[in-house]
Amino acid sequence: MSNNIVEIDQSVIDAIIAQAKAELPNEACGYLAGKDGKVTKNFALTNIDHSPEHFSFDPAEQFKTIKQARQGELEILGNYHSHPKSPARPSVEDIKLAYDPDILYFILSLQNEEPILQAFNIKKEEVTPRNITVI
């Protein structure tokens, strides 16, 4: 993941979109995992805030998911959440809550008819867009 391109499996994108649509009007969220910087699996998590404007992971569910990924010899490469009515870019709150500088932050916008998925590095409140390549 050292270059500007992040690779993600089409089935993962499809699963994120399906989850986001199913959880409307609230934000959907989860973890993304894979190997060698390639995202090959998503882990849908519960948005315990049940809100259309923000999300929080359930800590017990988070721990269980990280353990499950490791057992599958996968590493957590990022997390994702949806923006039901806003663009696919980090909000002020998203930036403030981006505590892990070593993972990617994916945001799916459902604002328009066609969903838009974007990826970002967020380090010390500095946001750097990443290019997504579908594998």
pLDDT tens track for 29-55: 999 999 988 999 999 999 999 999 889
What is the DSSP pairing of strand 75-83 with strand 104-109? parallel
Cα–Cα distance for residue pair 64/50, rounded to 1 Å = 20
Q: What is the mean pLDDT of the chain?
A: 91
Query: Which residues are 105's β-sheet partners?
Result: 79, 120
Domain containing 95 — which CATH number?
3.40.140.10
Tell me how many degrees the CA angle 78-44-51 measures, rounded to the nearest 5. Answer: 95
CA distances 129 to 54, 68, 107, 126, Å, are: 21, 28, 11, 10
Number of domains in the chain: 1
User: Domain residues for 84?
Assistant: 5-134
pLDDT at 3: 63
